[in-house]
Each structure stands twice: as C-alpha cells, then as structure tokens.
Structure 1
Amino acid sequence: MNSFSSATSQNRSQNNNEVLVNVIVKQRADGRTVAIVPGFPELQVEASDRHAALAQLQQRLETHLAGAEIVSLPVKLPSNEQKNPWLAMAGIFKDDPQFEQMLKAIENYRHELDKSTEDDFLQE
C-alpha cells in the first residue's frame, strides 16, 4: 500500500517538496484518537482528539523524513500466466546420439507387450 502521493491540487502549495500522505484515523472506545501512517508502524500516535493526533503525526512524519528523498521506482510484476512445467524439458534430448535408439527400444517393448496381451487374450 502506497501512503504517499504527489500534491497536485491547485489549492496546494507550489512547493515541489510536498506530498500527500494517507493516514488511518480511528477513535477508540475510551474517546482517544489513534492516527497511523499505513506501512510505517513506527509512525503511530495517540492523542485526546483527532486534531491533536493529526498534528502530532504530521510532526513525527516530518521528523522521520527529514533529509530523506521519496522516489517512485518502476517494478516489473511477475506474469499471472501459468507456465507449463513440461516446456522446460522440451527438446533436451534433441542432440543426444542415443535418443533414437531409446525410442526404438520403447517401440519394440510396446510391440512385445501388445503381442503378449494379444496371445493371452486368444488363449482365454
């Protein structure tokens, strides 16, 4: 979850060093307010009211980010496409000099099995 976005509103300051930060604000059963920056568990404050909680959180966030730079990085996502695991094995025997012999041996064995099955069937 991205907590930061560029300040692009016309009402916002023209200062390029300003970003908007998403904040989760919750009021507890005892009436106190908790404010949290998603993705930054260390940036959580608790105060007597919403205004105080947001002011404290803003101060902590500005202190936390002092001297830091916020950048956006493009990240390639893995494909959702299911890969066929058999494709990794395709063609591995193409240059094997014994591959044709193995195929011939398999074919001969199948013929033997077919013949013995046929003979067993005829004897019944």
Structure 2
Amino acid sequence: ESSGHPGFFCNTISAGERQSVLVQGADVSCRFAHNQIMNKKTFSAVMGSVDRGACIDVRDGANPEFYCNEITGGASVGILCQQRGRGRFVRNLIYNNQLGVHIETEGNPYLEQNTIRDQVRGTGVLIT
C-alpha cells in the first residue's frame, strides 16, 4: 500500500501448530481485508505472541485493521485485545469460536458492523 503498511487481501490464513501471522510492537499497523482466518489446532492470525489459542490477538500497542474477514474456529477466542492492543474491526464475521471477542487489560479496539454468532460457549463479547 502507499501508506507503507503491510496489507493482506483475499487470503486463506489457517494455522497449524503455531501462529500464521505474527505482528508485534507499539504502533505496528497492518491491514487484513476479505480473508478467511481459521484456526486448526492452536491459533491463527496473531498480533503479538499468544498462548491462548486466539484467532487474532492484538497486544503491545499494535493497531491493525480488519475489514470483511471470516474469523472462525479459535481454540479459545476469535479476537483478543489486551495490553494496550487497539485495532479497528469492521464488517467481520466472527463465529464458531469458544468466545467471540474478549477485551481485557487496557485493550481498546473499535468494532463496527460485525456479525458475532454461534460461539461454542455462547458468549459473543466479554469485557474484563
């Protein structure tokens, strides 16, 4: 992209034993749009290191953008925002995870027009 930020468009991102995408650090930005982000065993698209099995983990001040993605099959949570993790999540389909979205420990994401449904534990959004 002209902005100099990495972009991931129309991909299938499917994890095996470890994360498929790792981006970490204060003010690190990137954009994911129209991807299928799946979790096979442990975790999938990750913003920062994670040990919980989240499809997407945003932490350490990272500030990604996720537009129109399918986020499914997380070993624990579809989207986890923690430790000053930010991010913009717009028009994503988040389903079939243990928990849809978990915001904790100073996480500060922006969510708009997402569909959050059919979580294994029945909780769509948890704020702690």
Report the TM range for the smaller structure's normalisation.
under 0.3
Q: Pick the structure with greater CA Rg.
A: 1
Q: Where is the strand percentage greater, Structure 1 or Structure 2?
A: 2
TM-score (norm 2): 0.20
**Larger relative contact order, structure 1 or 2 (CA cutoff 8 Å, min sep 6):** 2
Q: Where is the helix percentage greater, Structure 1 or Structure 2?
A: 1
